[in-house]
């Protein structure tokens, strides 16, 4: 049952007021009783005043402590993933055929992209916006805006339907999109469309790559620490139209092959009463930034190609090593909070031996499978998932949700981890108490993670989920 967001605060203030009146009444009642004893009247009057102040201070302290304790917990009420229009479906063959008909790409570049797609881990049901399938591709701000509006509004509409949330109750709004950053911003676009209140706190994250979704979650968490009894709406997406590359530089053509349309909307709350209807409790967020290393900073870089005619995102050959480097640093930080003491001891002891005694000793890799039941890994590509599976020593079953999401949806950038979690829900795998680990990588270079704990069983039959119409068809063999 939904309780108004001010319920707890009003309850505390009512309790404080009633206690104050009770103590005040007791004091004056006592004073009236001893009023005919002038010698001790002053003594009791002073004593009761100090008593009143003491008990009021105690009540105020308890109320403040309780409220602060409640505000520290952040709940994920629910989330929704955008389900693209069927006409946007684009198979691998259809994508290559469009390139051949367009005439703007050389034959050798087309053959290169076909090779990338064949080894990408993709299926034939990922989505591409229609303007990119025209000849030539219709790349412009108008179409980019239409694409983003369709994705963002579609995800938010579904989220509002699932949560029965009133838009006027949203106090914090965070949007993230790396490539498309028009003016007014995407957050302003949401405010205008849904007529959100003018006091709303708005943030628009740009240029932060595929890990920006978890950066937005961490930002929302921090804001919810200082804004009690609040709801935060986080919207994660990417724009294909604005990021599509029309040249022949191979390092830039890879992104055309991997990225597909998608988006997610997430509702967070710090209201304790929402724990009864929320799905997850946010336990940890860890952000790792390796931008101080030149090879990491340049591993994903937007720039003009050698012709100076077209802008694209170049992926370096060191990208996988960079991702592994950032991941190891991130899990070293996270491990202090989630790993059993035995695993921490094994890691620290081998690290000390290697550093001070024997350089040939291999540092022990902690077994994170002991800490989590579900792994939601950013679907950056088959090579990315292979690297993460290798570093974390995950089984094929544990990596299945991410590989299946890559197969069905492609790389939907910052929203991909939410499609992975939606797959776990659609399969009926989420049980109360389960721990979920989300891992995302992004330009900079960044590795960001979030840890959630399921507050209840998630019944797939009762869920609005982008997978539900076809979940019985998965998993499929994606070992290509």
Task: Tell me the catalytic residues.
Answer: 210, 289, 374, 378, 411
Residue with tokens 């640093």: 329
CA 460 to chain centroid, in Å, comes to 21
Over the Cα atoms of the chain, what is R_g? 27
Percent of the chain as helix, strand, coil, to the nearest 5: 50, 15, 30
Query: In the numeric block, which tokens belong to residue 94?
Result: 């259809």
User: Can you tell me whether residue 300 is helix, strand or coil?
Assistant: strand
Nearest to 373 by CA among 449, 427, 447, 454: 454
| Strands annotated E in 131-188 | 172-176
- Contact predicate 99/113, CB 8 Å: yes
| Strands annotated E in 26-151 | 75-81
- The dihedral through the CA atoms of 103, 104, 109, 112 has a sign that is negative
- Contact predicate 268/234, CB 8 Å: yes
CA 91 to chain centroid, in Å, comes to 28
**Residue 376 pairs with which residues in a beta bridge?**
438
Longest dimension (CA), the chain: 108
Length of the chain, in residues: 480
What is the rounded distance in angstroms from the CA atom of residue 299 to the CA atom of residue 319? 5
Nearest-10 Cα torsion for 359, 361, 366, 369: 140
Query: In the numeric block, which tokens belong to residue 146?
Result: 């239409």
User: Can you tell me whether residue 200 is helix, strand or coil?
Assistant: coil
- Tally of CB atoms within 10 A around 355: 11
């Amino acid at each position: 049952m939904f309780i108004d967001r001010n319920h707890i605060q009003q309850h505390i203030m009512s309790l404080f007021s009633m206690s104050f009146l009770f103590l005040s009444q007791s004091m004056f009642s006592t004073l009236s009783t001893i009023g005919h004893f002038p010698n001790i009247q002053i003594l009791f009057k002073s004593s009761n005043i100090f008593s009143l102040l003491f008990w009021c201070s105690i009540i105020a302290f308890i109320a403040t402590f309780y409220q602060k304790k409640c505000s520290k917990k952040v709940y994920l009420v629910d989330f929704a993933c955008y389900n693209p229009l069927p006409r946007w479906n684009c198979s691998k063959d259809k994508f290559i055929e469009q390139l051949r008909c367009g005439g703007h790409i050389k034959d050798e570049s087309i053959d290169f992209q076909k090779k990338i797609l064949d080894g990408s881990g993709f299926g034939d049901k990922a989505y591409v916006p229609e303007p990119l399938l025209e000849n030539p591709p219709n790349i412009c701000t108008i179409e980019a805006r239409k694409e983003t509006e369709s994705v963002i509004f579609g995800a938010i509409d579904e989220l509002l339907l699932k949560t029965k949330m009133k838009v006027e109750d949203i106090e914090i709004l965070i949007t993230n999109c790396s490539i498309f950053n028009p003016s007014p911003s995407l957050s302003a676009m949401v405010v205008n469309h849904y007529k959100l209140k003018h006091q709303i706190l708005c943030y628009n994250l740009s240029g932060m790559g595929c890990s920006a979704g978890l950066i937005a979650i961490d930002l929302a968490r921090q804001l919810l620490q200082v804004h009690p009894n609040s709801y935060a709406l986080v919207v994660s997406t990417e724009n294909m139209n604005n990021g599509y590359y029309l040249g022949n530089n191979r390092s830039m053509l890879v992104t055309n092959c991997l990225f597909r349309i998608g988006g997610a909307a997430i509702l967070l709350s710090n209201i304790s009463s929402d724990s009864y209807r929320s799905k997850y409790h946010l336990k940890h967020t860890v952000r790792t930034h390796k931008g101080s290393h030149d090879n990491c900073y340049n591993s994903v870089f937007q720039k003009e190609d050698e012709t100076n005619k077209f802008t694209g995102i170049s992926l370096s050959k060191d990208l996988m090593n960079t991702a592994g480097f950032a991941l190891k640093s991130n899990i070293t930080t996270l491990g202090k909070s989630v790993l059993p003491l035995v695993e921490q001891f094994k890691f620290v002891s081998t690290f000390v031996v290697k550093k001070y005694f024997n350089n040939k000793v291999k540092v022990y890799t902690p077994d994170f499978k002991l800490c989590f039941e579900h792994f939601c890994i950013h679907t950056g590509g088959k090579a990315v998932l292979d690297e993460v599976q290798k570093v974390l020593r995950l089984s094929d079953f544990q990596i299945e949700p991410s590989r299946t999401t890559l197969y069905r949806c492609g790389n939907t950038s910052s929203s991909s981890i939410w499609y992975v979690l939606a797959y776990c829900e659609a399969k009926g795998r989420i049980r109360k108490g389960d721990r979920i680990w989300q891992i995302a990588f992004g330009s900079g270079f960044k590795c960001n993670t979030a840890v959630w704990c399921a507050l209840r069983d998630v019944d797939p039959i009762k869920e609005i989920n982008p997978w539900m119409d076809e979940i019985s068809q998965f998993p499929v063999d994606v070992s290509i």
